[in-house]
Amino acid sequence: MPVIKELLRGESDGSISFGDYSLGSKSKLEDFKHGNDVLKVKTFQEITRLEKNDSVLYESVPGTAVTSFVETENGVRFTVEGPQDAQITVGLLPDTEYEVLVGSADAGRIKTNLGGKLSVSVELAGAGEVPVEIRKN
């Protein structure tokens, strides 16, 4: 299981990886510089939360491990893994419709709320790594 023992790391391709759902107590890493942004992660069994410049970028309940997380002008894409199904919330543009792909399945079109939050359930139990792509229509 690819938990991120560093809690948060930059990858050679410009993406980031974060989260350790195996931890019994909350751990965090603050002031991680990635490009022009400052990131903070909090993670353990119950939740994984990534903030960018003090705004929520990713949150899962329960905790997950995320690899190859890339944010573009059209959305985000990443691979997620966890021991059980998770509710994932991503911070995007407010009041905007996005197409959501989970694994190889089209999860439909979802509109963000006025705060820019989009939530999606991902079946992770026994699934291994699941790719997720959220792109603006």
- The total number of structural domains in the chain stands at 1
- Let me know if residue 2 belongs to a domain: no
- Let me know if residue 3 belongs to a domain: no
CATH number at residue 72: 2.60.40
* Percentages (nearest 5) of helix, strand, coil residues in the chain: 0, 60, 40
State the pTM of this model: 0.94
Give the DSSP letter string of 82-95: -SS-EEEEEE--TT
Supply the pLDDT for residue 4.
Answer: 86
- Let me know if residue 43 belongs to a domain: yes
Per-residue pLDDT of the chain (137 residues; tens, 9 = 90+): 568 889 999 999 999 999 999 999 999 999 999 999 999 999 999 999 999 999 999 999 999 999 999 999 999 999 999 999 999 999 999 999 999 999 989 999 999 999 999 999 999 988 889 999 999 98
Supply the pLDDT for residue 113.
Answer: 93
Alpha-carbon distance of 121 to 80, in angstroms, equals: 12
Supply the pLDDT for residue 48.
Answer: 98
Which residues are within 8 A (CB) of 48 and not within 5 positions of it... i.e. 6 or more apart? 18, 19, 20, 21, 41, 42, 58, 59, 60, 63, 64, 65, 66
